[in-house]
A = this chain, B = another copy of it.
Amino acid sequence: MEPQVTAGERPVKIRIADDIRLRIERGDLPPGAPIPTIQELTERWEVSPRTARDAHALLRQMGLVTGRRGSVLRVRTPRRMTVRSSDRHQLEKDLVLKSEAERARIGTSEIEMQTPIDEFEFRCVADQVPADELIAAAFGVAPGTELFRRTFEKTDRTTGALHEWSVSYIPVDLIKDNPDIIDNADQPWPGGTQHQLYTVGIEITRIVDEVTSGMPTTVDQQRWELEDGIPLLKVRRISIDDRERIVEVSDAVFPADRTKLVFPTPLKRFDEPRSD
């Protein structure tokens, strides 16, 4: 068979993949349905197995199909989305003035309510690092400024898969008045940042979430147990206090196939009745 030259046309692998993609989008191939095997594609399109496989790979990279080695590829079934709302910022602040017992109870139940705690392992590592250029720019301080850093991980106890990951930076200068923060930094509950800052007289009055997205590295894919074609949502949280200082910068990562970020914006009411 002579080579299927791309004579001004789109590559064959793309034509094959698009054909299947359209069948999926039309609902002709519903979620869970097997897509044509490599064998079938080589016969139907008269291409080498390698080209048929490239078409399969394209469909995986678009996040449309999944399948482990050895089984047929199937149309991806959407996963249940975990909602993460910026409402939690105010909820956390509301906890600051409550008693410690209440904080522990409400904090884990209301804000982190969704999962039985036993299934997961929390890990929190705290240390102190000089700011590199990127994080220094985020704070608007000089590179080298000492930062208190905490990295937080939630992993599935059985599979070892990562479920949550974030890192938080606070300028050491801001919190050095309360050595408790640094000494007891390894608590497994990250919701307490606002309370901790409150103990050194800092009130956070504004939080800015910056959302971007990017593809995982091969290592990220393994750690998060991500399938092909699934991006990562990246959220940088910037906490600003009543003196307009940036007091905390936090970066968090969420797999896009199981996370929905929600940001409610209340609008000011019109003061006067309208005239029409």
Contact = CB atoms under 8 A, between A and B. Distances in A.
Given A97-B270, A214-B256, A229-B215, A264 B208 contact: yes
Given A265-B90, A267-B90, A213 B199 contact: no
28 contacts: A18-B217, A18-B219, A21-B217, A21-B218, A58-B218, A61-B215, A90-B268, A96-B270, A201-B276, A205-B266, A205-B267, A206-B266, A208-B262, A208-B265, A209-B262, A209-B265, A210-B261, A210-B262, A210-B263, A211-B211, A212-B256, A212-B259, A212-B261, A213-B232, A214-B256, A231-B231, A231-B256, A263-B265
Interface string A3-26: 000000000001001100100000
Given A62-B218, A86-B265, A270-B97, A213 B242 contact: no
Contacts of A214: 63, 231, 256
Contact of A199 (B14, B199, B276): B276
Nearest to A242: B269
A260 interface: yes
Interface in A228-276: 229-233, 242, 256, 259-270, 274, 276
Interface of A: 14, 17-18, 21, 58, 61-64, 81, 86, 89-90, 93, 96-97, 198-199, 201, 203-219, 229-233, 242, 256, 259-270, 274, 276
Given A231-B256, A242-B269, A269-B242, A263 B215 contact: no
B205 A260 contact: no
Contacts of A267: 89-90, 93, 204-207
Contact of A18 (B18, B21, B218, B264): B218
B206 A256 contact: no
Most chain B CB neighbours (cut-off 10 Å) among A208, A242, A262, A263: A263
4 smallest beta-carbon distances between A and B, as pairs: A231-B231, A213-B256, A213-B213, A263-B263
Contact of A274 (B14, B198, B262): B198
A217 B264 CA distance: 29
A96 B270 CA distance: 10
Contacts of A89: 265, 267
Contacts of A256: 212-214, 231
